[in-house]
Every structure is written in structure tokens, then in C-alpha cells.
Amino acid sequence: MARPFALDPLFRALTALPGIGPRNVKLLEKLVGGPKILDLLWHKPIDLVDRRFTPKIAEAPDGRVSTLSVQIHKHFPNERKGQPYKIWCTDETGTINLVFFHAHRAYLEKLFPIGETRIVSGRVEHYQGKLQMTHPDAVGTLEERAQIEILEPIYPLTQGVSGKILHKAALTALKTLPALEEWIDPHYKTRNRWPDWKEAVETLHSPPDETTLDPLHPARARLAYDELLAGQLTLALVRNRQKRQSGRSFPVKGALRNRLLAALPFALTGAQERALAEIDADMAANSRMLRLLQGDVGSGKTVVAALSMLSAVENGAQAALMAPTEILARQHAESLKPWLEAAGIRFAVLTGRDKGKSRETLLHQIGNGAIQIAIGTHALFQEDVAFADLGLAVIDEQHRFGVHQRLELSSKGKGTDVLVMTATPIPRTLTLTAYGDMDVSRLDEKPPGRKPVDTRLIPAEKLDAMIEGLKRQIETGARIYWVCPLVEESDILDLAAAEERYDHLKQIFGDRVGLVHGRMKPADKDEVMEKFAGGALDILVATTVIEVGVNVPQATIMVIENAQRFGLSQLHQLRGRVGRGAEQSYCFLVYSGLLNETAKERLSVMRQTEDGFLIAEKDLELRGAGDILGVKQSGALNFRLAELPAHNELLAAARDDARLIIEKDPELKTPRGEAVRTLLYLFERDQAIQYLRSG
Ligand code: ADP
Ligand code: MG
């Protein structure tokens, strides 16, 4: 089945609408987030102007938006540049001047013919004892009255696209709205008093009253639910498909595990024990494991992964651990080495750097099973890498991957179990959205004995004094990360700021300062990072590219400039780079300018806690969903209609509903299933529909 014909009008190009042509379509596409009419319909008004107030001239109050019906009497063109052009109008109660600056005479004469009646809407001002309306927002003939006297939606705009054009285009688009079969459960819909889809879209752009701006208004809530449901259905379909492919059973036998445990210089935390028990149960079961292991940097995910990999090996299969970067892969190998050796495991590292003969040898050993555990980058999952029998794939810190990539990664083996590790603590509600297809284990307890990072707020004016302090710290062997301002939407500006700071610090500290940024070649970046890790550099200046997870235990100081611009979760991630050794660590949050209340509250949260989950919840509360670190790019949280946290409850309901729908009607063949397919097409989840077919 292809996309239902009923949806065609919604998928036409924006240029099919009046007022939208080749000149402004690009701007509009960018503004509304897509090239089709549906994108425009999903562009939500942010405010309303009430043009339904229609007083007589004499009753029009100062400063209020009024819609007047006036007779045109006389034009007073401006005599000199800079003077306003005035048009004298009346009704039976009084007179008012329409005022225009930079006026085009011919245009105004045509728009306001003398002797005729016109409807004008705008803010009325009492000026030097007279009434005037400067640049009416809307003008029309008596016949057009009904289109003017409305609650007019105000849209987020961009230079080059006017609200008028947008509104007119939206109204035209509404005329071709199809009525769609209902996909929402009828009881749930009635209980919420939700309108049909069509009516909900109409309400958005042709609002009957002020309450429609509220995210919890039935029309907005319904549309949000549609979007959330489409997302959750996609995840449920992915999950269903994964689970249907029969898994393997890897019961824990214990011999290898005990050897590794005996080699550990510490006991597992309660959280590690719990997570491991959950993983053990999944791996022992016949279905496929799809589990997310969430835990702050330093919460001890690696050892949990290692113990899980042993379960696969113990049952005669192989395991793979994939990290997002070369450095991280090597660091993993480094820290796993003593443990795996103690357990007598044959393991190897494979990254993009392995070429030629050595690579061939590695591939051969992976292929014949001589290597039991492979650690590497995405190079592990390239086409020419064939495992003898991959039982478990562990994927570290991969918030940058989407659902589909997860599918690809696990397709290297038959029924391969998948464990995803992330150091981005995500609030529970968002976990649903981003990882709704996975089961979740949380490491919410840190290994004992960590010193809290001493976190301080430093106003930018005190930077020099702080640098004096750093000099003393460096003399005693401290190593410093220095993160430069994040300027939204411009990595060029980011870079300029970082380079400037780098030059500045070099003047003070000499050669022992390094710079890394996102525009460097990976190999160059790695080289600088390695120098810092090895102690050849004392200060590492960086844009935000400090790779998640890079471990330099000797680094004890984190300086973050313009800290007020970062999200809490980002600050938390950055701070997590220090406090990994035995020494006392510091985090200096340097801020510039005056902070507003929210900014103050956010930065003080950082001083109060190091609990990533708590910080993530706060971040969500204070900033909304889209900004939580990293997940934005993955697309998982780019909502058009839903707003978190306002729609948190809907999200949970959508998840339950999606799972239920797929459970009862896995092929979406019932009438409701058909409607659900339409929903998926509406939100361009075509890929999810493919899973139905090929599964
Ligand atoms: P993550 O990968 O979650 O960032 P790691 O697995 O790298 O964290 O663990 C951080 C450090 O803590 C490592 O040096 C590790 O050996 C140590 N560690 C892990 N678990 C424990 C524990 N239960 N008790 C003490 N130290 C631990
Ligand atoms: Mg780690």
C-alpha cells in the first residue's frame, strides 16, 4: 500500500498556495520546516489578535485594536519626505485619519477610493486630540468584512514572509483538508473531548476563541497526541520486528564471570547488580534483548558491559563493543584489558586505523571466531566484517544514532542481543520518545568514594583573578579543560571565540595550551587530545567537541565560558570530564552579563547537585524538550505539534496505546489498523510501514 490518496492535497508543494512563489518559498520552507502544505498547517500560531471588536469611531478606545467601517473622504499626500500620508475618513459618529509613512500614492488611491466604504482594522490612537490609525493591519471592502472581523492567528515569522501571506495561505490550505478515518481510540477521544483531525487543524488556524492557544486545548492536545502516537507506533513496530526475530538464549554459567569479578579491585554497586540482573534475564530469554543502560559518566557502565559480554562468550558466541570514536574505543580496550585477560578472553581492537595486512588478520580472526570479543568503532559494522557468531552487540554512547541505525548495527548476527549504553541521563518521559522501543536499566548510584566537584559561578569580570588561581593549580600538576562559548547556529563564531581564547591563554601559559574544535580533521583532533591526556599540554581549549566519555583522570579543572548559554544537561556532561581521579576537582561556570531568574536558577542547580537524572529533569522543566543534549540532532525529539513537558501525560498514553495497537493488530489490517497506517503516512513514517511488510 502506498500513501493513501486522501493525503495528497497535504503533500503538495507550498507553491500551490496563493502568495507563495519561487521568490519566497525557500524562506517559507525553512520557517515551517518542510516543503509541503502539511508543514504549513503544522506551523502553530503563537498568539491571536482579536479583530471582532467593531465600535463606531467615536467609541473606539485609545490603544485598542478595533475594526472600523469608514467612509473615505479625502487624501492628504505628504508634501515632503518623512512626512506621513494621511487619509481622512468618517462614520456617522466621528472622524479618523489613516496614517502611512513611506507611502506610495497610487497604491493608496487605489486601496482607498474617495467616497467608498472600507473596513480597516488596527490599533486606534488618540493623538493631539484627534483619532488616528497608523498602517492598518487589514483593509477590505464590505464584502470582505467576515474575513477581517476574526480572531486572527499570529505566527512565528521570518524576514521575507509576512503574517498576512502565511495566514492567507493557511486558510486556503484548510479548504482542501481531507476528512480522515479516526485512528484514536473512540473512548479515549470522547473522554478527552477531542475533535476530529480535520476540525482540530481548522481550529488551529481559524480559532474560535482565545483558549485555543493553550497546549491543553482539545484541538492542540489532539494534534499533539497524533504526533506522539505516530512516533510511538514507529518505535513499537521496530520493537515488534526485533522481538519477532527469534533471539538466542545465553544463560549465565558463571565461571568466566567469577574470574572477572575476582579480578575487580571493587565490589559492584547496588545499581550495577540490578542492571546486570535485568540484562542476565534478557540474555537468558529466547527473545532478543533490546536494552538501554543509562548512567552518568563514571557510574560504571563499562564493567556491566564486560560482564554481559562474558555471558555471550561463555555460551560459545562472540560479543562486540562499539564506541563512537577511535579514542574512546582504545580507552575501552585499555580499561577492559586486565579484566578480560583475567577471564582468559581473546579480544582485539578494530578501528578505521587498521588497514592492510593487520586488518585482514583481524577480520580473519573475527570471522573464524578466534577473537571472542571485538572492541572498536563503527568500523566493526562495515560490510566486510563478518563475525563467526555475534551474540551480543554493545553500543556505547550513541545518542547520535537513530532507531534505524540501531537496526542496522544489530543485523550483523542472527538474533543478536543489543545493549546500548548512554551517559546522557534522559528524563523518563523523554526516554519514552527517544528509546521507546527499548527496555531501560538505570545506574543511578555512583561507585563509592568520589569527591564531589567543587562548582563555582564566576562573573566574566573576575576572569583574570580566576586565571591567577589557575596558574597556581597548574604548578601543582593540575590539567584544565577550557570550553569556549557556544554560539547557536554558528560554528564559525564558536571557532573564532575559541581561537581568541587560545591565543590569549598562550600569551599567559605559553606552549602548554592546545586547541581542539569541530572543524579539525579527526586525526588532528585525536593528536591534540592525546597530548593533553599524556600530559604534554596543561590546558585544552575546546569548543563543545570534547568527546563524550574521554577519560583523563588527571584533568581536575573544567572552565566553561558563557555557561549561561548551555543547557543543564550539557553543563553536566562537560563537568563530568573532571572529578575522575582522587584529587579534588573544580568546575568554574563563567557567565557574562546579568542573569535572569531562570538562568540563575539553572546555574544554581549545577552547584547543588551532580545527579544527572535530577539535572535532566530540571533541564526539561526549565527549557523544554528540544534542547536536551544531543537528542535534538537525532530527530527523536523534534516535535512539531507536541510540547513537552505540557504533553507528558499524552506521551505515556501514546506509548501504551501504540503497544496495544501493535499487539492486537500487528499487521494493521483491521479498519482501525488502516486508519493507523494513514496516521503513519501523515507523519511520514513510511519506513515503519515497511517493517510491517518485510517482517
Ligand atoms: P562509565 O562508563 O559509566 O562512564 P566507567 O565504567 O568508565 O564509567 O567507570 C568509571 C570508573 O569507576 C572506572 O575506573 C571503573 O573501574 C570504576 N568503577 C566501576 N564500578 C565501580 C564500583 N562498583 N566501585 C568502584 N569503582 C568502580
Ligand atoms: Mg564509559
80 and 181, same structural domain? no
Q: Which residues contact 445 (CB under 8 A, 6 or more apart)?
A: 269, 270, 271, 299
pTM higher than the cut 0.85: no
Of ligand 1's listed atoms, the one at least distance from the Cα of 268 is 23
**CA diameter of the chain:** 99
56 and 14, same structural domain? no
Name the 3-class secondary structure at 199.
Answer: helix
Q: Is position 154 within any domain?
A: no
479 and 591, same structural domain? yes
Per-residue pLDDT, 631: 42
Q: Is position 564 within any domain?
A: yes
Note the pLDDT tens digit of each residue in 102-159.
Answer: 889 999 999 999 999 999 999 999 988 899 999 999 999 999 999 999 999 999 998 8
Name the 3-class secondary structure at 422.
Answer: strand
Q: Measure the CA angle with vertex 168, ends 59 and 71; round to 5°.
A: 35
Of ligand 1's listed atoms, the one at least distance from the Cα of 549 is 4
Q: Is position 245 within any domain?
A: no
**Lowest model confidence (mean pLDDT) among 246-260, 319-333, 476-490, 656-670:** 476-490
> What is the count of structural domains for the chain?
4
Ligand 1: which of 299, 322, 547 to mutate, judged by most atoms within 8 Å of the beta carbon?
Answer: 299
Q: Which residues contact 515 (CB under 8 A, 6 or more apart)?
A: 498, 499, 502, 528, 540, 541, 542
Per-residue pLDDT, 404: 53
593 and 498, same structural domain? yes
Q: With bands split at pLDDT 50, 70 and 90, how would you rate the model's confidence at 662?
A: very high
* Omega before residue 645 within 30° of 0, cis: yes
Find the mean pLDDT for residues 325-349: 92
Find the mean pLDDT for residues 18-41: 94
588 and 473, same structural domain? yes
Q: Is position 631 within any domain?
A: no
Q: Is position 550 within any domain?
A: yes
CA of 302 to the centre of ligand 1 (A): 7
Joined grid coordinates for residue 175:
479548504
For ligand 1, atom 27, the nearest C-alpha belongs to 447
CA of 631 to the centre of ligand 1 (A): 25
Q: Measure the CA angle with vertex 292, ends 297 and 607; round to 5°.
A: 30
Asked whether the beta carbons of 578 and 586 are under 8 A apart, the reply is: yes
| Parent domain of 116 | 52-149
Nearest to 420 by CA among 437, 396, 390: 396
Q: With bands split at pLDDT 50, 70 and 90, how would you rate the model's confidence at 380?
A: confident
Joined grid coordinates for residue 343:
577471564
Which CATH number is 303's domain given? 3.40.50.300
Q: Is position 250 within any domain?
A: no
Note the pLDDT tens digit of each residue in 397-439.
Answer: 655 555 555 555 556 667 889 898 988 777 776 777 767 778 8
CA of 633 to the centre of ligand 1 (A): 28
471 and 580, same structural domain? yes
Ligand 1: which of 269, 303, 304 to mutate, judged by most atoms within 8 Å of the beta carbon?
Answer: 303
Task: Report whether pLDDT(283) > 70.
Answer: yes
Ligand 1: which of 294, 302, 421 to mutate, judged by most atoms within 8 Å of the beta carbon?
Answer: 302
Q: Is position 156 within any domain?
A: no
Q: Is position 355 within any domain?
A: yes
Phi and psi angles of residue 205, each rounded to the nearest 5 degrees, phi first: -100, -15
Note the pLDDT tens digit of each residue in 291-336.
Answer: 999 988 788 999 999 999 999 999 999 999 998 888 889 989 999 9
308 and 323, same structural domain? yes
Of ligand 1's listed atoms, the one at least distance from the Cα of 396 is 2
Domain boundary among 578, 609, 640: 609
Joined grid coordinates for residue 577:
570530564
600 and 494, same structural domain? yes
Single-letter code of the amino acid located at 69? S
Separation CA 145–CA 166 (nearest Å): 19
Q: Is residue 131 left, alpha or beta, with left meaning phi > 0 and alpha meaning psi from -120 to 50?
A: beta
Which CATH number is 92's domain given? 2.40.50.140
Of ligand 1's listed atoms, the one at least distance from the Cα of 264 is 16
Note the pLDDT tens digit of each residue in 608-627.
Answer: 998 888 888 887 777 655 44
Domain boundary among 563, 587, 609: 609
604 and 541, same structural domain? yes
Phi and psi angles of residue 253, each rounded to the nearest 5 degrees, phi first: -95, -35
Give buried/exposed letters for 356-371 (b at 16+ CB in 10 A, else e): eeebeebbebbeeeeb
Joined grid coordinates for residue 150:
476574526
Average pLDDT of every residue of the chain: 88
Separation CA 675–CA 690 (nearest Å): 16
Per-residue pLDDT, 669: 93
422 and 306, same structural domain? yes
92 and 67, same structural domain? yes
Which residue intervals of 37-121 are DSSP H helices?
A: 37-41, 105-111
**Pairing relationship of beta strands 555-560 and 65-76 according to DSSP bridges:** unpaired
Note the pLDDT tens digit of each residue in 554-563.
Answer: 899 999 998 8
414 and 330, same structural domain? yes
Per-residue pLDDT, 159: 83
